[in-house]
Structure 1
Amino acid sequence: MVTLGGVRTQVGIIGAGPAGLLLSRMLAVQGIESVVLENRSRDYVEARIRAGILEQHTVNTLREVGMGARLDREGLEHDGIYLQYPGTRHKLDFPELCGRNVWIYGQSEVVKDLIAAQLDDGPPLLFEVSDVQPRDVDTDSPSIAFTDADGVAQVLECDVVAGTDGFHGVSRPIVTAATQGTVWERTYPFAWLGILADVAPSTDDLIYAWHPDGFAMHSMRSPSVSRLYIQVDPTEKIEDWSDDRIWEALATRMALPGWELQTGPVTEKSILPMRSFVSSPMRHGRLFLAGDAAHIVPPTGAKGLNLAVADVTLLAQALVRLLAEKETDLVDAYSDKALARVWRCTHFSWWMTSMLHTHGDDFDAQLQLSQLQRVCSSEAAARELAEMYTGLPVAL
C-alpha cells in the first residue's frame, strides 16, 4: 500500500489499461520498480469491452512475461479471415501467406490476467485515485500528485512517468503543450453497432463482409459466445435497434448460399463511433506516452490493443536501458520508432475501413469491390493484408 510521505518508485504509471499494466509487468521482470495509478475501480476496468484479436507478437509478449497460461487455455487460435462481398466468401490463409496466426482473446481478459498478477505479487496498483497530475517532467526528478481512494493527497516521486491513461487522460495534453506537438485526426462518417450474443459462432474464422447496406463482421469470444458488428450511421440510437432488427441486418449483409447465421440471446450491445487519431511526439522530458494516450485507430484492422503492446515493448526496453544502464539512446529514439509503426498501422486500419464500409456513391462502391476482388485473387495483395493483420515487427 502506498502511503503519504517519502513515497518513491522508479516508474510512475498513469492508467491501468493493458498498456500500463503490461508495462509494469515487463519492467518488473527486468528488476525495475513501478507504481500504477488508475482513476476507475477494478470492476470498471475489468468490465470494459474492447478489442479481441491479438497479433502473434502480442501473444508472444504475454507468454514471455508469464501471462500466457489462461490465454493458451481459453484463447482461440485463428489461421485467417474471410473477406466477403455479395456472392463470394474468400479465405485468406495467414500461415500460408506469411507464416503467422492471430488469437481471439478479449482485451478485458488480458486486463483481468494482468490485474490478478499485479495484485498477487506485482508492483503496487492503486484504483480510484483522483486529481492525478504529473509534475516536473522536464527534470530528472518528476513526480505525480494524486488523491488516493481514501481522499488522502499524496505525491509519488519517480525517475520516469509513463502516460498510459488514454485519449481523455492528463498525460497527452502536457506533452502536446510543452512540445507544441501535432495532432492528426480523421472522423469517419459511420459507426459500428456491436453485440455480444450467447450463441456458438456460425463461422470457423472471422468474416469481414462488404454489402450495399453496409459493412458487417462476425467474430467470436469463445466457442459459445459470438461477437458481431454492423455499420450504422453515427447518429443512430441504440434503443432504435431491437435484437430482431440487428439479427436481420446481420443475416442480410452476410448472406451466402448454403450458409446460415445462427442467432441467440443478445447480452450486450453498443454503438462505437469510428476515428483515427495520432499525437506527436510521444515524449516530453521524462514523460512518455503509450497506447490510446497517443493514438487511436478504427477497429477494422484489429490494431488498437496490439499497438499499445508494441509501444510498451519499445518503452520497456528504453526505460530499462535508461534506469539500469544510464544510457539515453533508446529513450531518445522511442517516439520516432513508435510513431513509424503507428503510422503504418494507422494506414492499414484506414485502408481496411475504407475498403469495407459503404460510403459515397456507386462509383466508390465499384472501387471497393475492385479492391476486394484484387485481394482475393492476388497472392501479393493477400500477403500484404496478412502481414499487416498478423503484425509488423515492433521496430520498423
Structure 2
Amino acid sequence: MRCELRHVSHARWLEPIARCRRLSSLSTLAIPRLPTSSTRYLVWPKGWKWRKTVQASRRRPRKKEATAFCRNRFSLFPGEGDFFGPILIINSKMKYIKEKTTWSVLLGCVALITINGCGNQQSTPSEGADVKTIPSFSLAWSEYPSWSVFGVADMTGVINGKKGELGPVEEKWGVDIELKEAEYDPCLAMYGAGQCDAVCITNMDILSPATGRPGVMILPTSTSDGADACLVTADIKSIQDLKGKKVYGLEKSVSEYCFVRNLELLNQKEEDFEFANMDPGAAALAMQQKQAAQQAIVVWNPFVMETLGKREDVRVLFDSTKIPNEIIDSVVVAKASLEKKGGEAFACAVIEAYYEVNKALADTAKRDETLIAIGEKFSNLGL
C-alpha cells in the first residue's frame, strides 16, 4: 500500500487530502468530501465511493465541534486542534490493513514453507524413480571362433562388457551385460558355482552342470567341423599306436566325446585306450614345447591351429569332420537367471550382439577387419 498526504491551503484552516492507490479493502475506504473549491486539487481513484458529508464551513471550527464531528461521523478518537478526521480515518485503516497484512504474510510464509517442504520430500522419490535400475547379467566366454564374437562385439562398441556401462544393444534392451573371459574349464566351473548367469558351452558339456543348475540353450553359435581334433607326433602312425599311451584332453567334455566317437567310427573299443584329464591349453603348450609325455592330445581351436603352426612334425589323426552336427557350440543361460526381471531381455541382447557381428562378416567392407578382430588372440591370420 502506498499513501501520500498533502495539504491544500484554504482561507483559515488546513484540509488534509489523501491520495491512495487502490489495494484490497481500501476500495471501500470512506473519505469526507471537501468543498467544491477544494476538489480541483484531488486525483480521484477509480472505483472509490465517497460519502456525502456535512458541508464544511470556511471558518475554522472550534475544538469541540471538530471532536463532535469526528465522534458522530466516524466513531474515531477525537482530533485535537484542527480538523484531522481524514487523517484519523487513514491511520485507523492503515492499522487494520497492517494487522491483516502481517497475518497474511505469516500465513503465506507458513504455506510456502509447507509447500516447499512437501515438494522436497516428494521430489526425492521422484528423482529416484527417474533413475531407472538396469538389471545386470554376466556371460562367461572363452576363446573360440564363434564365442570370440562377444569379445569383438565389446571391442567394436556393439555392447560394453564392463559392468555398469552400456552399449547400444544393451540400451535397446534395457540390460547390462558383463563379459567374463576365462579358459573353457574355469568358465564351466563359474557357471556350475552360480558365479555367472550365462556361459559359452557345447551342447554335451552342459549336461553335467545341468543336473545341479538347470539351463536353457538360447543360441547355437556354430557346429564343429574340424575345430576339435586329435593331434599326434610323428611317432604315431595310426590309431593302433595309441594303445598303451595316454591321450590328453579335458575329460567329460567335448574333447573326450570327439575321441570316443571317432574310436567307434574306426571300430575300436574305448577300453583299449586311456584318456587322461588335462586342461586343453596346458596340453597344447606341452606338445608345442616337445615334452615327451604329450605325444597325443585332443583339443579345439585355437589350440589346434597354434600347435600345428609351431610344430611341423605334428599332424591331425582325426577330427570332428567325421561327426558333423554332433558338436554344437552355444550360449546357455541358467533357468533361474532367465526368470529374473530382465532375464529374457538379456537373452535377446546376447543374441542380437552375436548377429550384429555376423552382419559385419557379411559386409565386404568390414569382413577382413572383423575376421582379424575375431582371430586376434590366437589365429595369427596375417591379413
Q: Compute the TM-score of the two structures, normalised by the length of structure 2.
A: 0.22
Q: Compute the TM-score of the two structures, normalised by the length of structure 1.
A: 0.21
Q: Which has the higher contact order (CA 8 A, sep 6+)?
A: 1
More strand by percentage = 1
